[in-house]
Amino acid sequence: MARYLGPKVRLSRRVGVPIADTPKHTSKRQLNPPGMHGYRGRRLRDYGIRLQEKQKLRYHYSIMEKQFRRLVDEAKRRPGNSGEVLVQLLERRLDNVVRRSGVVRTIWAARQMVAHGHVLVNGRKTDRPSFQVKVGDKITFKTKIQKICRENMESMAGHEVPGWIDFNPSELTIAIQSLPTSDQVPFDVNTNLIIEFYR
C-alpha cells in the first residue's frame, strides 16, 4: 500500500490551508511560506489553480494520485454532479468516517486504526481504509482499542460530528444515517476545478 511518509506540515504549507485539525497544522506561523521573507512566487495560472485544488483534496483525505484518479473516473461515470459525487465517495471511506466521528484526531491515525484491524463494519473485521460504507452500516471498535478511543475523545472535546453520521459515544458505535452532502464537509474546496483538471 503506497502512502506519503514525509513531513505532514509541509503539505499544509504547500497548499496554504490546514489539512489536519491539529495545532501544528492550524497555527498561522506554520502556514506561512518557508524562508525569512516567505516565498513570493508568481501568480498561479489556470492550470496551477486547478492543480492546487486537487492537491488540497488529496492531502486532506491522504490518498495517492492513482487512487484519486480512479475515484474521479468513478464519479464521472455516476449520475449527478461529478464534483459532489467525488466528495461523497471520499467522505464514505472507512478511515474518513472514523476520523469524522471524533474517535481520532487525524486521517493518518484513523487509517492506522483501520489497517491494524481494530474496526468492525456490521460485526466483521474490515482492515481496508478505502472501504466504502453504505447507508445503514454500523461501525464498532474492538474492546482493546476502546480505551484509546475514549482518551482521544476527551482530548477533542467540542468536536462536531456531521449530520450524516450517528455517533453514540457511550457505546462507541457509528451508524451511517444518510449520504453526505457537500455542505456537510468541513473543508473548503472547489470540486468543479478538480473535475476540470482531469478533462
> Would you tell me how many other CB atoms lie within 10 Å of the CB of residue 2?
9
Cβ of 193: how many Cβ atoms within 10 Å? 18
Q: How far apart are CA 61 and CA 120, in angstroms?
A: 21
d(CA 124, CA 105): 24
Rounded to the nearest 10 degrees, the angle between the axes of helix 94-101 and helix 107-115 is 120
Summarised one tens digit per residue, pLDDT across range 21-77 is 777 777 766 666 666 666 666 678 889 889 989 998 999 899 999 999 999 999 999
User: Domain residues for 166?
Assistant: 94-178
Mean pLDDT computed over every residue of the chain: 86
Residue 1 pLDDT more than 60? no
56 in any annotated domain: yes
- For residues 72 and 7, the model is more confident at 72
74 and 119 share a domain?
A: no
Do 60 and 99 fall into the same domain?
Answer: no
Say yes or no: 84 and 148 in one domain. Answer: no
Same domain, 103 and 61: no
Residues 105, 170: one domain?
A: yes
H or E stretch covering 11: helix 9-15
In one-letter notation, the amino acid at residue 186 is: P
Residues found in the chain: 199
Instruction: With a cut of 90, say whether residue 121 has pLDDT above it.
Output: yes
Percent of the chain with pLDDT over 90: 46
- Shared-domain flag, residues 75 and 133: no
Q: What is the DSSP letter of 184?
A: G
Query: Domain count of the chain?
Result: 2
pLDDT band for position 18 (50/70/90)?
A: confident
Please report the pLDDT score of residue 135 as a whole number.
92
The enclosing domain of 30 has a CATH number of 1.10.1050.10
Say if 114 falls within a structural domain: yes
Question: How far is the CA of 179 from the CAs of 84, 88, 121, in angstroms?
Answer: 11, 7, 17
CA angle 46, 47, 53 (to 5 degrees): 95
Name the grid cell of 180: 453526505
Q: Does residue 80 sit in the same domain as residue 109?
A: no
Say which range, 16-20, 99-103, 173-177, 190-194, has the weakest mean pLDDT. Answer: 16-20
* Segment 157-181, tens digit of pLDDT: 778 888 899 999 889 999 999 888 8
3-state helix, strand, coil in the chain (%, to 5): 45, 10, 45
Position 85 scores a pLDDT of: 92
